[in-house]
């Protein structure tokens, strides 16, 4: 089988979630709705946290960054998917595919780091409430977000650079709705061992590291809550991290479920359908999870809508 080395003419075929023509109008409407809901919900959180001075706190600073990352995360794949369905053309150029790989990894891992940073913020708020404003100062908050960006950018550059060394055979069909790195490596004809090693260590370090930080933070939070004598005090402490814990549980349960199921099933399109949960549904639900039980955020949104031009 001949290798395809001319990247100027190299094009991949994104098979999407379903190849059945009867499902395409339904999928177009469903994903358009979810994308618009994601944009609207996360934009409202960003605008509310920026314009309302009562939300100028570390927790909402991190939340606005998470909302921005979620908007970008879904924007990497969904617009292209909608265009492909509407035009009935599933092709994506080599350059477009590498760009999708880069930005999908960047914003997916950035979500991971921001969730870990927010877990640390909740840890400080519950373990050291009297020193919270001193510890979580503007300088530290800025460094935590900047460090998250730098780490994810470098990791994405490494992963996408390794993808550039791959040569591809004539079968360029990707059973996914975007150029996912693992699926791209599977299509390569040359030795992919270096890519596999980089992906493995990347998953362990930039994937497992933040998860370990989240688990450690919540182990300390749980021990602190158990030490509180009054039931009302325990409830208030739990409420401060309930929304974040819900988002973490939703994100990691769907993410780990997808990748563990990929080792069990050989149906790649089933894996693609399952990946919709963490890459589309979770970013859409995050604003609702954070706002419905948050009186400060709901109050800021009401003031935002009542504000006269």
Instruction: At 73, give phi and psi (nearest 5°).
Output: -60, -45
The token duo for 48 is 């509310």
Which CATH entry fits the domain spanning 11-306: 1.10.150.300, 1.20.1090.10, 3.30.230.80, 1.20.1070.10?
1.20.1070.10
**pLDDT tens track for 123-157:** 999 999 899 999 999 999 999 999 999 999 999 99
**pLDDT tens track for 83-104:** 999 999 999 999 999 999 999 9
pLDDT (0 to 100) of residue 115: 96
Neighbouring C-alpha atoms within 13 Å toward the C-beta of 244: 27
Task: Tell me how far CA of residue 307 lies from CA of 49, 271, 302, in angstroms.
Answer: 15, 45, 9
pLDDT (0 to 100) of residue 39: 97
pTM: predicted TM-score of the whole model, two decimal places: 0.92
Task: Tell me how far CA of residue 180 lies from CA of 19, 22, 45, 77, in angstroms.
Answer: 18, 25, 29, 10
- The answer, yes or no, to whether residue 190 has pLDDT greater than 80, is yes
β-pair type (173-174, 11-14): parallel
pLDDT band at 2 (very low <50, low <70, confident <90, very high): very low
Kindly tell me the number of DSSP H helices and DSSP E strands found in the chain: 12, 3
- How large is the angle between the packed helices 138-163 and 58-87, nearest 10 degrees? 30
**pLDDT tens track for 239-266:** 888 889 989 998 898 888 777 766 666 5
Mean pLDDT of 188-200: 93
pLDDT (0 to 100) of residue 303: 86
Mean pLDDT of 270-279: 82
**pLDDT tens track for 22-58:** 899 999 999 999 999 999 999 999 999 999 998 999 9
- How large is the angle between the packed helices 231-264 and 209-227, nearest 10 degrees? 150
Angle at CA of residue 33, ends 29 and 39, nearest 5°: 145
- The answer, yes or no, to whether residue 271 has pLDDT greater than 70, is yes
pLDDT band at 227 (very low <50, low <70, confident <90, very high): confident
Closest to 16 (Cα-Cα) out of 278, 282, 279, 270: 270
């Amino acid at each position: 089988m001949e290798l395809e080395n001319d990247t100027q003419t190299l094009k991949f075929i994104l098979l999407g979630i379903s190849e059945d023509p009867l499902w395409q109008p339904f999928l177009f409407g469903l994903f358009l709705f979810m994308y618009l809901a994601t944009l609207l919900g996360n934009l409202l959180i960003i605008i509310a946290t920026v314009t309302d001075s009562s939300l100028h706190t570390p927790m909402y600073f991190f939340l606005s960054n998470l909302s921005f990352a979620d908007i970008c995360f879904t924007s990497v794949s969904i617009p292209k998917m909608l265009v492909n369905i509407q035009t009935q053309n599933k092709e994506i150029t080599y350059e477009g595919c590498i760009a999708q790989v880069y930005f999908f990894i960047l914003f997916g891992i950035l979500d991971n780091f921001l969730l870990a940073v927010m877990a640390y913020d909740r840890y400080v708020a519950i373990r050291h409430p009297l020193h919270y404003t001193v510890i979580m100062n503007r300088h530290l908050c800025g460094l935590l977000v900047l460090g998250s960006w730098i780490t994810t950018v470098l990791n994405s550059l490494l992963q996408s650079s390794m993808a550039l060394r791959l040569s591809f055979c004539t079968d360029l069909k990707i059973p996914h709705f975007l150029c996912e790195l693992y699926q791209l490596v599977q299509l390569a004809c040359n030795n992919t061992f270096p890519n596999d090693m980089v992906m493995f260590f990347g998953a362990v370090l930039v994937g497992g590291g933040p998860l370990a930080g989240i688990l450690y933070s919540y182990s300390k939070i749980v021990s602190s809550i158990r030490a509180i004598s009054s039931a009302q005090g325990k409830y208030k402490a739990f409420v401060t991290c309930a929304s974040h814990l819900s988002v973490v549980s939703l994100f990691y349960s769907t993410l780990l479920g997808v990748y563990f199921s990929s080792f069990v099933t050989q149906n790649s399109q089933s894996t693609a359908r399952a990946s919709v949960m963490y890459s589309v549904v979770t970013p859409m639900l995050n604003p609702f999870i954070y706002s419905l039980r948050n009186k400060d955020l709901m109050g800021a949104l009401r003031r935002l809508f009542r504000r006269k031009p």
